[in-house]
């Protein structure tokens, strides 16, 4: 799959966000390297972007930073972040002219079926009266546009919608979303960010904010949450299991009664999780760090990954959070990726739907930035769980992602250390970790999936929907566009998105009844 996604690019078919071609990050076991990069060397040195210089200077002061800190800066730094910077000549990151294309951008069927999914869940839960529609990371707003257009035909559902919330880090993308969904870029200030009326639902407001914790959480509210290609953009920490012989192999211990060999043998290596950290490449080295991208071969990169010799605050607790990581403790050189921010987000979803857990969740995660944000409300009570979350993204079904950090630029996979801030960074989503965290955070939810996107969309009726629209297609060009679009979404081959992308759902746990599978996850429409 990984190689073929590259060959897809080479043949010039640039329709989807190119997928998992892991960058063989160059790790060197010399965390001390960074200190050779003195402040003056940094200022003389040519950096590929202003953000690279800012990061290098910060590292000179603080020491190497985690991959998570690097990713966060590269993606959402207020000035030079990939999503948050102002793009030139009105060009955004998406589409054939940008860096990648996502499912909602490929075909309207995607958003339409997601809209139907929300409606079906609302029916199955007995038509809740006060609904919030929430999307995290809406990009251009295309998915929400298709969702709202679709559900606007179901008047009873739209009447129940209290407000729509879009969680978006980029002020420029917020404006673009507003243009599409409200027909204006003129947004009013609100208590949590910005607001404008929704063009599809009379009297309903769209609210923009930067963090889901700002979205009101009330017992009577039923949140219906969408996350499409959001979790892959959240920062990951990377750890490698490295053997350390605490006692040199040849040593014997001298005791008063004579020399002895330690009981378990001197060479038994101890394995410890070491965090991989980011530091500038040496300014004096002329080693070109080749990348997996043919176009950037030989490019000298600003940064490299090194293994931290000493424990970091994250290496001391994150790898201990799950038995899945513990099982790899005896696998030399195993690599694991953990995204605490993703776990915090999914826990928040679960608590909104099912209420909090009286016992503190293991996934409560250090707050990211702003101190005015409400604290994680683990004790939020919800007598009757309601709402749902639908997560659509790429990643393995049940294994822990390893070596999946990648850069994407102009539909090509590049090094994650190439042109910081100008390159999209993403990593595979650990669906099982998300599921565990959701269940851990709330006793009132159950998790379905992950299932492959092809299964989800096929059982949602994508073929039937496509057949109906194709019959009415006004010309050959429209017909071809519709046809190639829907097929690509479910294609399980190397050029399609049906297998690599997965769907996972969080719904209320019904302790009294049998498990009700949502549609798209093996269930049928109920309550219609
Ligand atoms: N869902 C869209 C866009 C995916 S790209 C689609 O599938 O087309 C990721 C989106 O998440 C972008 O809108 C980006 O600006 C936003 N984003 C990334 N990191 C974020 C963060 N930490 N908080 C809020 N939004 C973020």
Q: Residue 52: is its pLDDT beyond 50?
A: yes
Cα(462) to ligand 1 centroid in Å equals 25
Give the range among 212-221, 259-268, 506-515 with minimum mean pLDDT.
Answer: 259-268
pTM: 0.87
Paired tokens of 92: 């955004």
The total number of structural domains that make up the chain:
1
CA distance 227 to 504: 10
Q: What is the pLDDT of residues 373-389, one digit of tens each?
A: 444 556 899 989 999 99
Section 439-460 average pLDDT: 97
Tell me whether residue 41 is in a domain: no
Tell me whether residue 114 is in a domain: yes
Cα(95) to ligand 1 centroid in Å equals 14
Give the residue whose CA is nearest to atom 10 of ligand 1.
137
pLDDT class of 439 with cuts at 50, 70, 90: very high
Range of the domain at 485: 103-233+341-508
> What are phi and psi for residue 339, nearest 5 degrees?
-115, 90
CA distance 521 to 505: 8
Is there an atom of ligand 1 within 6 Å of 229 CB? yes
CA distance 402 to 241: 12
Q: Residue 102: is its pLDDT beyond 70?
A: yes
Is there an atom of ligand 1 within 6 Å of 497 CB? no
Is there an atom of ligand 1 within 6 Å of 350 CB? no
Tell me whether residue 156 is in a domain: yes
Ligand 1 pocket test target in 144, 145, 169 with most atoms within 8 Å of CB:
169
CA distance 263 to 6: 52
Pick the atom of ligand 1 nearest to 167's CA.
24
Tell me whether residue 297 is in a domain: no
Give the residue whose CA is nearest to atom 17 of ligand 1.
137
Pick the atom of ligand 1 nearest to 341's CA.
22
Tell me whether residue 33 is in a domain: no
Q: Residue 363: is its pLDDT beyond 80?
A: no
Cα(426) to ligand 1 centroid in Å equals 11
Q: Helix, strand, coil % (nearest 5) of the chain?
A: 35, 20, 45
CA distance 222 to 134: 10
Tell me whether residue 267 is in a domain: no
- Give the chain's radius of gyration (CA, Å): 24
How many percent of the chain have pLDDT more than 70? 80
Give the residue whose CA is nearest to atom 2 of ligand 1.
139
Cα(32) to ligand 1 centroid in Å equals 34
Cα(139) to ligand 1 centroid in Å equals 5
| Comparison of pLDDT for 378 and 218, the residue scoring more | 218
Q: Residue 367: is its pLDDT beyond 80?
A: no
Cα(173) to ligand 1 centroid in Å equals 9
Whichever domain contains 345, its CATH number is 3.40.50.12710
Tell me whether residue 122 is in a domain: yes
Q: What is the pLDDT of residues 229-282, one digit of tens each?
A: 999 999 999 999 997 754 455 555 556 666 666 555 555 567 899 999 999 998
Tell me whether residue 125 is in a domain: yes
Nearest CA to 398 out of 360, 431, 446 is that of 431
Sign of the four-CA dihedral 455, 458, 459, 462: positive
CA distance 103 to 393: 10
Ligand 1 pocket test target in 70, 137, 225 with most atoms within 8 Å of CB:
137
Is there an atom of ligand 1 within 6 Å of 167 CB? yes
């Amino acid at each position: 799959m990984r190689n073929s996604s590259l060959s897809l690019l080479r043949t010039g078919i640039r329709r989807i966000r190119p997928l998992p071609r892991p960058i063989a990050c160059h790790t060197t076991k010399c965390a001390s390297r960074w200190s050779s990069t003195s402040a003056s060397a940094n200022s003389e040195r040519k950096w590929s972007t202003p953000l690279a210089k800012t990061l290098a200077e910060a590292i000179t002061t603080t020491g190497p930073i985690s991959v998570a800190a690097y990713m966060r800066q590269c993606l959402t730094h207020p000035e030079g972040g990939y999503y948050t910077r102002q793009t030139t000549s009105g060009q955004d990151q998406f589409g054939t002219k940008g860096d990648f294309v996502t499912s909602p951008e490929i075909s309207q069927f995607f958003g339409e079926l997601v809209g139907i999914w929300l409606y079906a869940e609302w029916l199955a839960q007995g038509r809740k009266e006060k609904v919030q529609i929430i999307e995290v990371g809406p990009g251009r707003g295309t998915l929400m546009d298709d969702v709202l257009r679709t559900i606007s035909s179901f008047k009873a559902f739209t009447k129940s919608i209290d407000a729509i919330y879009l969680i978006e880090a980029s002020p420029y993308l917020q404006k673009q979303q507003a243009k599409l969904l409200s027909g204006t870029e003129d947004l009013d200030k609100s208590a949590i960010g910005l607001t404008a009326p929704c063009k599809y639902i009379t009297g309903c407001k769209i609210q923009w904010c930067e963090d889901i914790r700002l979205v009101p959480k009330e017992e009577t509210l039923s949140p219906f949450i969408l996350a499409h290609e959001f979790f892959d953009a959240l920062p990951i920490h990377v750890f490698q299991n490295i053997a350390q012989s605490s006692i040199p192999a040849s040593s014997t211990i001298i005791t008063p009664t004579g020399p002895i060999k330690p009981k378990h043998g001197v060479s038994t290596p101890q394995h410890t999780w070491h965090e991989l950290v980011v530091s500038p490449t040496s300014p004096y080295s002329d080693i070109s760090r080749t990348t997996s991208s043919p176009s950037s071969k030989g490019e000298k990169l600003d940064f490299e990954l090194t293994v931290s010799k000493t424990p970091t605050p994250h290496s001391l607790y994150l790898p201990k959070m799950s038995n899945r990581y513990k099982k790899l403790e005896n696998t030399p050189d195993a690599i694991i990726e953990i995204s605490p921010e993703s776990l915090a987000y999914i826990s928040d979803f679960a608590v909104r739907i099912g209420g909090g857990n009286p016992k503190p969740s293991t996934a409560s995660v250090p707050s990211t930035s702003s101190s005015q944000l409400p604290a994680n409300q683990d004790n939020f009570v919800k007598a009757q769980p309601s709402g749902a979350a639908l997560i659509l993204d790429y990643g393995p079904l049940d294994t822990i992602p390893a070596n999946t950090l990648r850069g994407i630029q102009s539909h090509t996979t590049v090094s994650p250390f190439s042109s910081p801030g100008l390159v999209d960074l993403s990593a595979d989503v650990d669906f099982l970790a998300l599921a565990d965290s959701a269940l851990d955070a709330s006793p009132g939810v159950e998790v379905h999936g992950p299932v492959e996107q092809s299964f989800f969309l096929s059982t949602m009726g994508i073929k039937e929907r496509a057949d109906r629209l194709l019959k009415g297609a006004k010309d050959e060009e429209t017909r071809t566009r519709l046809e190639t679009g829907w097929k690509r979404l479910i294609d399980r081959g190397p050029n399609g998105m049906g297998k690599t992308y997965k769907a996972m759902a969080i719904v209320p746990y019904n302790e009294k009844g049998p498990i009700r599978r949502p549609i798209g996850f093996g269930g049928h429409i109920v309550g219609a």
